[in-house]
Amino acid sequence: MDVVKATVKGQVLIPASLRRKYQIERGTALRVYGGKNRIILEPLVRDPVEEGRGMLKTKGRILKSLIEDRKREAKQ
């Protein structure tokens, strides 16, 4: 078990072994809650669809094209 100290601002350092185990990287969202003398940090499950959003930078062109194709197929 690792022991960490809080800074003046209340920040704590998560040990590297735990960061690797739970894949916590810079920018990883953590849920923080407490109960019965405990403070619990829980990494939020990453949504691969949400994380990939905007990756292709198509500005909606692919979606518009898909909708047009579906409309043409519906008319046939």
pLDDT tens-digit profile of 10-68? 999 999 999 999 889 998 999 999 988 999 999 887 777 776 777 777 777 888 888 99
Instruction: Look at residue 5 and tell me if it is in a domain.
Output: no
In-domain check, residue 41: yes
Q: HEC states along the chain?
A: CCCCCCCCCCCCCCCHHHHHHCCCCCCCCEEEEECCCCEEEEECCCCHHHHHCCCCCCCCHHHHHHHHHHHHHHHC
Determine the pLDDT at residue 50. 73
Residue 6 is assigned to a structural domain of this protein: no
Domain presence at residue 1: no
pLDDT of residue 8: 96
What's the domain count of the chain? 1
pTM (predicted TM-score): 0.55
**Residue 59 domain boundaries:** 16-75
Please tell me the predicted confidence (pLDDT) of residue 31.
93
